[in-house]
Amino acid sequence: MQLRYSIFGESHGPGIGVVLEGLPSGLVMDMEFIQSEMDRRRAKKGGLSTTRLEGDQPEIISGVFEGRTTGTPLCAVIRNENTRSGDYTRTMDLARPSHADYTGRVRYGGYNDYRGGGHFSGRLTAPLVFAGAVAKLWLAEQGIRVGGHILRVGPVEDVPFDPVAVSADQFAVIAARTLPTISEQAGEQMQLVIQQARADLTSVGGIIQIAVTGLPAGIGSPDDSLEGIISRNIFAVPAVKGIEFGLGFGFGQAYGHEVNDPMRMDGERVVSTTNNNGGILGGISSGMPVIFQVAVKPTPSIARKQQTVDMAHHTDASLEIQGRHDPCILSRATVVVEAAAALAVMQAMRDQ
C-alpha cells in the first residue's frame, strides 16, 4: 500500500502534527528512538541555533495499539508552547526577503496564518522528523539505514562519505557530535563560522550529504524514478534549493571513460568499483549505497536591515527582523533531510 504523509499545523496555532497512511501493521514503535530523533532536531545551545527551546513531545492519537502500528492511519500531534506572537504581529505586512511571506500571501489570498511563518515555519519539520523516525524503524527491519552529515558550512568542508564503502556504523558517531560531521575538526571549524555569522548579524548556508545503506537493487522505475521520489520529498524541506546524486553537478565537467562506474562480481553480488551514479541507474537502485547532496540556503531571517515591501500598502519598506532565529540551520536540518529521505525510500519500496 502506498505510504502517504500529511504534515499539518502552524507555528503559533494550537499544534502541529502528521498523519501517516499506508503504514504496515505490527511495526514496533520504539519511542525512545523516535524521541532521540526528535531531540536531534531541537534547538541547540551555545549560539548555534535559536533560543526558542521546546519540548516537542509528540502525542500519538491513533494508529498504534499495544506498542505497535495497527496499519490504519497514524496521527501524532505536537502541541505548540512557548510561542511569542508579539514578536511577529508588528511586522505582518512587511515581507521578509527570501521568505515565503509574500508568496504565501498570494497563494492563500491573504488568509494564511502569518505568525511565525505559519505553515511555512521550520517548526513544521518536527512532525516530519517524527514521520521519518517511523520510516527508519521500518527500513531498519529490512536492513536499510539512512544517515547524514554536514558536508559544508560556508567555506568549511567535511570529508565526504566513501561512496562504495559507507557504513551505517558511522551514523551514530556522527549524530552524537555537537555538529553532525565525519571530521571532528571540520565540525569545530563550522561552529566558529556559525558563531561568527551570528555575531555578524547574518546567517550561513551549507550542504548536507545523505547515504542510504542496505537498499537492494531494483527499487524505483524509469517513469517514477527513485531520484524523483527522493527529490520531491526533499524539496518539501524549507530552505532546500538543490539536490544532486553521486557526482551530480560534477558530471557536467566529466568524460564518460572517467566517470562510468565499472562493474564486477563480488561473490554473488553485482557491484561497481566506483559509485559516481550515487547508487541509482535508470531511476532504479543498483544495490550500491544511495548517496546524494542537498544544498541548504542561509536562513533568510537575519538581524540586519533589509529592503523589502509593505504588502498592505504596496510601498517599499525596510525591515529589521526581531526574534529568535538560527544563524545556520544545517545542524538541525540534517536529521530533517534524513527523515524526508527515509520516507521517500520507504514510499518507493512500499509501492513495489
Chain positions 139 to 158 lying near its own copies, rule: CB under 8 A, are 152, 154-155
Q: Considering only residues 38, 77, 133, 343, which one is a binding residue for its own copies as defined by CB under 8 A?
A: 77
Which one, of 247, 251, 248, 242, lies nearest residue 337 by Cα?
Answer: 242
Please name the amino acid found at residue 252. Answer: G
Query: Cβ closer to its own copies: 95 or 345?
Result: 95
| Contact mark string toward its own copies, 100..139, x via CB under 8 A | x-xxx-xxxxxxxx----xxx---x---------------
Please name the amino acid found at residue 225. Answer: S
The Cα–Cα gap between 330 and 156 comes to 13
The reply to whether 26 sits near its own copies by the rule CB under 8 A is: yes
CB of 323 vs its own copies, minimal distance in Å: 15
The Cα–Cα gap between 176 and 187 comes to 12
Q: Considering only residues 173, 192, 201, 312, which one is a binding residue for its own copies as defined by CB under 8 A?
A: 201
Contact 116, 11 (CB under 8 A): yes
Query: Cβ closer to its own copies: 146 or 344?
Result: 344
- Phi-psi label, residue 273: left if phi above 0, alpha if psi -120 to 50, beta otherwise: alpha
The Cα–Cα gap between 169 and 57 comes to 27
The reply to whether 164 sits near its own copies by the rule CB under 8 A is: no
The Cα–Cα gap between 261 and 90 comes to 56
The reply to whether 55 sits near its own copies by the rule CB under 8 A is: no
End-to-end CA distance of the chain: 9
CB of 197 vs its own copies, minimal distance in Å: 6
CB of 3 vs its own copies, minimal distance in Å: 12
Query: Cβ closer to its own copies: 165 or 255?
Result: 255
The reply to whether 31 sits near its own copies by the rule CB under 8 A is: no
Please name the amino acid found at residue 135. Answer: A
Query: Cβ closer to its own copies: 90 or 314?
Result: 314
CB of 297 vs its own copies, minimal distance in Å: 4
Query: Cβ closer to its own copies: 155 or 176?
Result: 155
The reply to whether 83 sits near its own copies by the rule CB under 8 A is: no
CB of 302 vs its own copies, minimal distance in Å: 4
Q: Using CB under 8 A, which residues numbered 244 to 303 contact its own copies?
A: 244-265, 268, 270, 272-273, 276-278, 280-287, 293, 295-300, 302
The Cα–Cα gap between 136 and 262 comes to 31
What nine digits make up the cell of 249? 553537478
Binding residues for its own copies, total number by CB under 8 A: 143
The reply to whether 1 sits near its own copies by the rule CB under 8 A is: yes
CB of 231 vs its own copies, minimal distance in Å: 4
The reply to whether 195 sits near its own copies by the rule CB under 8 A is: no
Q: Considering only residues 160, 214, 242, 323, which one is a binding residue for its own copies as defined by CB under 8 A?
A: 242
The reply to whether 228 sits near its own copies by the rule CB under 8 A is: yes
Residue 60's Cβ-count burial label (10 Å; 0-12, 13-18, 19+) is middle
The reply to whether 7 sits near its own copies by the rule CB under 8 A is: yes
Beta carbons within 10 angstroms of residue 256's beta carbon: 7
For residue 193, the number of C-alpha atoms closer than 13 Å in the C-beta half-sphere is 22
DSSP character for 328? -
The Cα–Cα gap between 207 and 240 comes to 9
Residue 346's Cβ-count burial label (10 Å; 0-12, 13-18, 19+) is buried
Overall residue count recorded for the chain in this entry: 352
Query: Cβ closer to its own copies: 33 or 102?
Result: 102
**39-47, 85-93, 129-137, 200-208 -> range binding its own copies (CB under 8 A):** 200-208
